[in-house]
Amino acid sequence: MTEFDLIKKYFATQTEHRPDVRLGIGDDAAIVTVPAGHELVVTTDTLIADVHFPALTPPYDIGYKALAVNLSDLAAMGASPAWATLAITLAEANEAWIQAFCDGFFTLANRYQVQLIGGDLTHGSLSMTVQAMGFIPPGQALLRSTAKPADLIYVTGTLGDAGLALHHLKQQISLSTEAQHAVLTRLNRPEPRLPQGEHLRGLAHAAIDISDGLAADLGHILEQSQVGAIVYVDQLPLSEAVKQSLPPEKAITLALTAGDDYELCFTVPPEKRALIEKKLSSIPCRYTCIGVITEQQGLDLRYQDEKKYHGPKLGYQHF
């Protein structure tokens, strides 16, 4: 099949059609309308085989994750998703692979009313670039640069699951069947925390999604906000799979450094703690207070008994 045949058969068949898309797939560019009284939030991520996912990952999971990591960025800004574009390079036009990839991509897209409005399909080594776009009321975006001293630091979900899955895939650790299923699902099909991000608008001071490891990503907030933090490492939320598969110190290291969790880390003024916890309680997702923002710059990792943590804290390095 030609490039245009493949696009028409697999990528232009999404059932989600938004009224704000005036012209979608099929022309040189898309035409869309930003609702009145909203700002446009735009993010882009590239995933490359054997860099961002094992090449043998099922294509359904690759399609799902390619969109999920971008929606996670929108969630970290408090944005409501709307549109996406997809540029994908394939070594061969394997129609079964393409169908499974699209099934994964559109499963997540339809769940959050995201319409694929364009992109590109080319021949080459397996990679994909997704651009996701969403809306936010003016001035309500959650930023990395607005954390304040005395803010409480929260994270959603659990940390370290995706890292444990990668250790398993690299045959660095043996896991039970139940643990394998749990952590591989977290690695291959992360859940973008979009409802949580929307609930944090106007309440949280700062936010980021955890893609490169908690210590590294929280470090971005600290640097851009020119503040510091105390994080209690024995308060980090861990899944049963992580706790049962690793000794406590290794579990903490994984939670701090492994990345690929795509949970949210956000800071909350203490006077709004009760209100935010009440709002988040309506969403079936764990959230945990792990520390506090300080005036003194730098990341201070310690235990609740005030003993210092001296283990690894370097996250994923892109270069």
Write out the binding residues for substrate: 52, 260, 316
Longest Cα–Cα distance in the chain: 64
Contact 241, 313 (CB under 8 A): no
Q: At what angle do helices 177-188 and 161-169 cross, to 10 degrees?
A: 110
Q: Which residues are annotated as a binding site for ATP?
A: 119-120, 144, 211
**Burial class of 27 by CB neighbour count within 10 A (0 to 12, 13 to 18, 19+):** exposed
Tokens at 254, concatenated: 């994984």
Contact 259, 157 (CB under 8 A): no
Residues 6+ apart with CB under 8 A from 268: 151, 152, 153, 154, 203, 204, 205, 276
Contact 232, 299 (CB under 8 A): no
DSSP-based three-state secondary structure for 312: coil
Q: Which residues are annotated as a binding site for Mg(2+)?
A: 28, 43-45, 73, 120, 209, 212
Q: Which residues are annotated as a binding site?
A: 28, 43-45, 52, 73, 119-120, 144, 209, 211-212, 260, 316
